[in-house]
A = this chain, B = another copy of it.
Amino acid sequence: MKKINVGIIGLGRIGKIHFENLKRNIPNVTIAAVSDPLVKYDNGIPSCSPEELIAMKGIDAVIICSPTDTHATYIELAAKAGKHIFCEKPHDLSLNRVLETLAVVEKSGVKLMLGFNRRFDPNFLKIRNLVKSGRVGDPHVLKITSRDPGPPPITYLKSSGGMFLDMSIHDFDMARYIMGKEVVEVSATAAVLTDPVIKEAGDIDTAVVTLRFEDGSMAVIDNSRKAVYGYDQRLEVFGSKGMAKVDNNMPDNHELYDADGTHGSLPLNFFMERYTASYLYEMKMFIQALQEGATLPVSGHDGLKAMTIALAAGKSVKENRPVRISEIIQLDKVKH
């Protein structure tokens, strides 16, 4: 099997997950360099600036986990340097920048994968496979519940692009992934119900978003920035032949019966615990596709499409009306 050399830019929470997985749990891959202004590694892995890392000889792929506003720059640099790219979501907060970098990537011939890790979660994979295999028939209605245990710091919120681009974008990608169809229209209802500070920051914390697909089928996503009981990540697809759903993952499955009732554990608290398996499998798939010269399982255009849904959702809230994707972008004019 071909050995792959990777460089990692950014060693925050997500960067460290990818670092550990690449180092310990994925065969035939070497971390050739890392780049982070704050984190120092003393285990023999060269540390350098992002630009040096991207330019480094012998590196096959760059894993971009730095702050969002640097993604587009590093993607373009890497593409021009002929390095394959794994980039955390979101690609960029500006639709134009995304389109520009996609054009650069396309021209360069390198491969780009967006970090929609949830596609690789065993539960959601199972649902995807049930849909693909026809076990639920034609999918009519997809339901996604996606609630965070608590909002990020307000400083983060202000530069996040808003809840739809920062948080719901995972769910928008999931909707396309599970349904295997394209969204044509978005209707969103939103509010600030947990903390007025979020309103002051111009953001929302609670939303119900309905997606209409090209064939009339629907998806409905409910989001909240604050579920006091933890991270709530569930999904259900209803179709002509049946319904399939997955529930949260728990740290254990105990049930306690006492005089007051029955009791159990709370769901795994946040993405680091809940999506452990998906982060590993995602990176394995990225490396394996590079080794085999195969198509990457999530493309830059997948990122683009999730982004257009997020933008349509924002516009729908602002204008209080359904917004068609074609109002955001003429997708047929984008090569992919």
Contacts and interface: CB of A to CB of B under 8 A. Distances in A.
Given A189-B212, A191-B216, A254 B263 contact: no
A246 B245 CA distance: 15
A266 B261 contact: yes
A217 to B, nearest CB: 6
A193 to B, nearest CB: 5
Interface stretch (A63-71, A220-228, A287-295): A220-228
A106 B191 CA distance: 38
A206 B216 CA distance: 9
Given A206-B141, A210-B210, A218-B206, A228 B252 contact: no
A228 B261 contact: no
A256 interface: yes
Contacts of A189: 187, 210, 212, 218, 322
B224 A238 contact: yes
Contact of A247 (B232, B240, B243, B253): B253
Looking at A127, A143, A210, A254, which has the most chain B CB atoms within 10 Å of its CB? A254
A244 to B, nearest CB: 5
A140 to B, nearest CB: 5
A122 B252 contact: yes
A229 interface: yes
A228 B208 contact: no
A212 B194 CA distance: 16
A320 interface: yes
Contact of A261 (B145, B147, B264): B264
A272 to B, nearest CB: 16
19 contacts: A135-B256, A136-B258, A140-B193, A141-B206, A143-B143, A147-B238, A187-B189, A189-B218, A192-B216, A208-B220, A218-B222, A220-B222, A226-B240, A228-B258, A243-B256, A243-B257, A244-B256, A244-B257, A262-B263
Q: Which 5 A-B pairs have the closest CB atoms?
A: A242-B258, A191-B216, A229-B257, A24-B24, A262-B264
